[in-house]
Amino acid sequence: MEINELKRIANNNRKRIVEMVYRAKVGHVGGALSAIDLVTAICEMDIDYNSKERSRLVLSKGHACPAIYAELVQKGVLKEEDLLTFRHINSRLQGHPYTVDIPEVDATTGLLGQGFSMAVGMALVKKQCDKDHRVYAIAGDGEMDEGQMWEAIMMAAHNKLDNLVLIVDYNKLSSTHPTNEVINLESLTAKMEAFNLHTIEIDGNDMEQVVKALEEAKTVKGKPTAIIANTVKGKGVSFMENVGKWHSSGLTDDEYRIAMDDLKRIEETL
């Protein structure tokens, strides 16, 4: 798929995220917007939801599920009108992904640190069964404070899971506070390399760099890949970018209009 088409889809997904959170009056909008380029590229390039045997995407930072829901609409798994039920009682689209209601989300996540451990298990089984699919896991940077993440990283490296890609959505805001003021992760790239992961550092909101990194990961043998994706929380919406409030917040009518105007201007450049 052409880069410009991926950019167009990602921008449409941003509109879906804003729409969802606006209608629900609550939701983790900032981290969904920072991760949507990653989610879009992975799903459009390497996941066939019509196939039982396929690559998997685990959203370890489960609170960013509007990003997954938006892309599942793009892939035809969900309908546009489903998004209007986000976080409503009895809706399938709750505030964290739930496989019982939507099997295509691949893992029920929410407790930070656990999703990546599930991804390691998936990759290990695929490796043992000689399945030619990949397992992607997107983790938040604040999630890297969890000891379980590092245990899972060691397990992945020990088992040489070259079919596993850990992507850290490094938007530098852990909830409302700067990530590295909570617990300093630097140098995150050096840490990943020390744990014997093939490590790539990119601008995670630059689709060309995202695609290049994902393609590079496919060539790696004998070890997992870590992609350190430097992103912007709230990417694409002027008043949300790098503002801690938008980790989780609803939008007023005026904020909704501004956000959609921002995304329309981006669309006009594509």
Percent of the chain with pLDDT over 90: 97
> Of 197, 186, 213, nearest to 164 (Cα)?
197
Pairwise CA distance, residues 106 & 262, whole Å: 32
Mean pLDDT over each residue of the chain, to the nearest integer: 97
Pairwise CA distance, residues 39 & 136, whole Å: 10
Exposed/middle/buried for 231, CB within 10 Å: 0-12, 13-18, 19+?
buried
The pTM score is 0.97
Residue 255 Cα to chain centre, angstroms: 24
pLDDT tens digits, residue range 100-150?
Answer: 999 999 999 999 999 999 999 999 999 999 999 999 999 999 999 999 999
Helix residue ranges per DSSP H, 107-165: 114-128, 147-158
pLDDT tens digits, residue range 235-262?
Answer: 999 999 999 999 999 999 999 999 999 9
Q: Collapse the DSSP code of 139 into the 3-class scheme (helix H, G, I; strand E, B; otherwise coil) and give the result.
A: strand
Q: Collapse the DSSP code of 179 into the 3-class scheme (helix H, G, I; strand E, B; otherwise coil) and give the result.
A: helix
